Structure 1
Amino acid sequence: MSDEQVLHNSKLIFLIPCTYVFVIWFIYWVEIQFQFNFNKFGVYPRDLVGLRGIFFTHFIHSDTNHLFNNSIPLFVLLSSLFYFYKQVAYKVLCYGGLLTGLLTWMIAREPYHIGASGIVYLLFSFVFFSGIIRKHYRLVALSLIIIFLYGSMVWYVLPIKDGMSWEGHLSGFLVGFIFAVFYRKIGITKKEYQFSTTDFDLLFDENGNFSPPKIEQEVEEGQVNDKE
């Protein structure tokens, strides 16, 4: 790979995370600046109009605290996704985001559900389980780092805090796990090593028993062996 390709890939790794974080902050700024309320564009469960929320919910936030809490994990997890899983990164982000919104629409309570938390849990789940499933040392190390940084998030897939869309968290977590299993053979995987056969290996049979090769004695034509 040339230096230009490496530089291009490095820029791309951070371009998507930076763009996503910028967009959600810009949308929130528009709400504040022009006194809009985009909450009605979130997911409203089991309602046809509320179905539009599966496209928009991941960009809408209720306040700066909500926005800030999602921004840092989004940047870290998106960067990890596009660096280690670039072959499937767009599919995980786009298809996974839509499925997370759809599952939230199906199982959630009636109030509007907004925020990028579903994407955060989708990425957290995908990155963590992908490393464990693939058993590649670099990816396993990444999984351990992710669980160290954000492991406490797992508790919020349960209804333990009022005013929090645990359904969105659970949806993202489940979709991330499914995608980790589905894409487990694409990208970096554990290498299966094949060892070459040596002369020493020929001394043993397929069951591991010692079996030296038989030495055939050739009797030259016209040669007589006398034994007294």
Structure 2
Amino acid sequence: MRFTSLGSGSKGNATLIESGDTRILVDCGFGLRDVESRLKRRGVDPQSLTAILVTHEHGDHLKGAPMLANRYRLPLYTTPGTSRSFKTAVATYQPINVHQSFRLGDIDIEPVTVPHDAREPSQFVFQAGDYRLGLLTDLGSVTPLVRDRYRHCQALLLECNHDPRMLAEGPYPPSLKRRVGGDWGHLSNQQAADLLASLDLNTLKHLMISHISEQNNHPDLARAALDPVLDGAAAVVQTLSQDEGCDWIDLETV
């Protein structure tokens, strides 16, 4: 199994996961032409996608998904709650049950419910053979379920959205600051570090710092919060960018 980020941040998110002949695009928070260009940079023809999977309805995750699904007749998987925000009908829509795992081609997919201010949000853990990849962004607090589901991953894309001090002193209006920093908003650097401390770091080989706020965080602050927890761990740590994401990472080479 291998993966690549096409971009991560408040302006758009998309992650591509591949195993064998199965290729899943998780989230599509970019416009149609933009995501086509980003896929091309990774050597991927949109027609080769097995399916699109969307975590929740916020624009930086859903924006281009219905259009991409309709143009290339791709199955689009979301929860029924998320599908209520489609601005256009999607004939290939497939509902998922957040309490039931399912399989797409070579990849097993385990939905994980998370506290976020969306209708029916879900994050996911992907498994192909012995390899597990966790995608975990867009949650305001860490639940026991989250700690359990993400405990044994070889790769983890983990939200480090904001630094609380930067958020408090930043340009957002008070209502948005409360939303972002609340239990149904986004993870701070320290919340991400606390979660990491409860996981099996002997298993973790790749940690991708994800969904960093351009206004309320900085990669150096995120690393400063995570480094004490990762001290002695073998995980390779990378920060995902909004414009470039990251190149392909093959879990079978770790």
**TM norm. shorter chain > 0.5:** no
- TM-score, length-scaled by structure 1: 0.28
Task: Flag the structure with larger Rg.
Answer: 1
User: Whose strand proportion is higher, 1 or 2?
Assistant: 2
What TM-score, normalized by structure 2, do the two folds share? 0.26
